[in-house]
Amino acid sequence: MRTRALFIVGLIIVMLATACGGQQQAPAGGGEAAKPFRIAVVMPSATTDMAFSQSMWSALKAVQAEMGGETALELKYSENMFKVPDAAAAIRDYASQGFNIVIAHGSQYGASVEEIAKDFPNTTFAWGTDVNTFGLPNVYAYTAAAEQGGYVNGVMAAMLTKSKLIGVTGPIEVGDAKTYIDGFVQGVAAVDPSITVSKTWTGSFSDVALMTEAAKTHIAAGADVLTGSSQSVVGSIGAAKEAGNVLWFGTQQDQASLAPELVVASQVYDWTALIKQMIANYKDGKLGGITYVLELKNDGLKIAFNPNFPLPADVKAAAEKAIADIKSGAITVNP
């Protein structure tokens, strides 16, 4: 009996502890001599996840390079902050250390931001993906209209599939994972309503093994084009690569480097414009109160065509027409 009790207690401890396995980079005190602009970011997964967190981190690094390196813009991050209380502690830490902008990069951090932002009226907070600034003058909310790029990817996918069967491997049916796929389905239907798009959800953002098997299942069922989102889709891309004749459409980050021969295009989240606007506003004394939406129109969303993939000219033309139509409002994609 003791064994069983211990075993169960052990399992519970581990389940509680699983999320805090990642390492946290503690913020260090800045130098006195130069006074760089300081931005800190708290992220749910790793800066190298080829998806959501990496998209924000790459944007910050790009802005830093543009502004002239670490002397002009100091960056700090805490990654793998899947547990909200840990993330909240990190957000408060950064704010107390006098960072100018603190970004809480996860829709689960909303309540923490709402609470902490009131205590630091001179710090800008940004969080997403969401649209709610809580009516606070120092909070930005940001989100991505993922359905727009999904639509464009869907148009291309519909023109490239030969088996008329397209597979989607998603994590959990929420947030931009869902809106991306909703847009994708609309894009496919706009080209050819007879194409079947079948979807699987693995119930996890991180279970790569199950995601791989989900992709293999789609391929076994006859799908020749796949797409999906979350950091675990690297498994799906691996499965497509193994099959050899299956194409992939990416989202959140340019995924072409994972399989240059079969990634057709990726929707890329480009947060640089948001970051630059926040910095400029901060210097002008405006700390927030704005909801920012990444769209094709404001170049926050981009379609990165893989230069190594021989995309037929008519498909590329159709994709570019879809992009133009979404920008002009001729096509509305419902999230």
Partner 1 sequence: MTEILSAAVIVGILTSAIRLATPYLFASIGEAFAQTSGVLNLGVDGIMLMGAFSAFYVTLHTGNVWLGALAAMAVGLLMGLLMSLISVTFKAEQGISGIGLYMFGLGLSSLLFKVLVGTVYTISGFPVVKIPFLSQIPYIGQIFFQHSLPVYAAFLLVPLAWWLLDKTTWGLKIKSVGQNPAAADSLGVNVDRVRYFSVCLGAVLAGLAGASLSTALVNLFQENLTAGLGFIAVALVYFGGWRPLGILTGALLFSVVNAFQLWLQVLGVNIQSDVAVMLPYLLTIAVLAFSMNRVRQPAALNKPFERGEN
DSSP string, 44-101: SS-TTSSSHHHHHHHHHHHHHHHHTSTTTEEEEEE----SHHHHHHHHHHHHHTT-SE
Q: Write phi, then psi, for 101 (nearest 5 degrees).
A: -130, 130
- For residue 39, the cross-strand partners are 75, 101
241 binds partner 1 (CB under 8 A): yes
Binding mask 169-188 for partner 1 (x = CB under 8 A): ----x---------------
Amino acid at 251: T
Residue 129's nearest CA partner among 91, 178, 94 is: 178
Binding segment for partner 1 (CB under 8 A), chosen from 16-24, 36-44, 152-160, 264-272, is 16-24
Among 97, 132, 196, 277, binds partner 1 (CB under 8 A): 196
Least distance (Å) between residue 248 CB and partner 1: 11
Region binding partner 1 by CB under 8 A among candidate stretches 85-93, 99-107, 233-241, 322-330: 233-241
Which tokens sit at 325?
Answer: 């139509």
Closest distance to partner 1 from the beta carbon of 130 (Å): 22
Cα distance from N-terminal residue to C-terminal residue, the chain: 52
Q: Does 143 bind partner 1 (CB under 8 A)?
A: no
Distance of alpha carbon 279 from alpha carbon 62, whole angstroms: 14
Task: Select 124 or 182, whichever has its Cβ closest to partner 1.
Answer: 182
Does 258 bind partner 1 (CB under 8 A)? Our answer is yes
CA angle 212, 144, 18 (to 5 degrees): 45
- In the complex, the smallest distance separating the C-beta of residue 331 from partner 1, rounded to whole angstroms, is 26
Among 195, 214, 279, 296, binds partner 1 (CB under 8 A): 214
Scan residues 24-83 and list those touching partner 1 (CB under 8 A). Answer: 46, 48-50, 80
Which of the residues 101 through 140 are near partner 1 (CB under 8 A)?
Answer: none
Q: Which is nearer to partner 1, 10 or 312 (CB)?
A: 10
Of 200, 230, 251, 266, the one binding partner 1 (CB under 8 A) is: 200
Residue 273's region, left for phi above 0, alpha for psi from -120 to 50, else beta, is alpha
Is there binding between residue 203 and partner 1 (CB under 8 A)?
yes
Q: Are 76 and 102 in contact (CB under 8 A)?
A: no
CB of 123 to partner 1, least distance (A): 28
Decide whether 143 or 231 has the Cβ nearer to partner 1.
Answer: 231
| Residue 201 in the binding site for partner 1 (CB under 8 A) | yes
Question: In this chain, which of 57, 216, 246, 271 binds partner 1, going by CB under 8 A?
Answer: 216
- Alpha-carbon distance 290 to 276, whole Å? 14
Task: Check binding of 18 to partner 1 (CB under 8 A).
Answer: yes
53, 79 in Cβ contact below 8 A?
yes
Helix (H, G, I), strand (E, B) or coil at 187: helix
244 neighbors 268 (Cβ within 8 angstroms): no
Residues that bind partner 1 (CB under 8 A): 2-3, 6-7, 9-11, 13-14, 17-18, 21-23, 46, 48-50, 80, 167, 173, 196, 198-204, 206-210, 212-214, 216-218, 220-221, 231-232, 234-235, 237-238, 241-242, 258-259
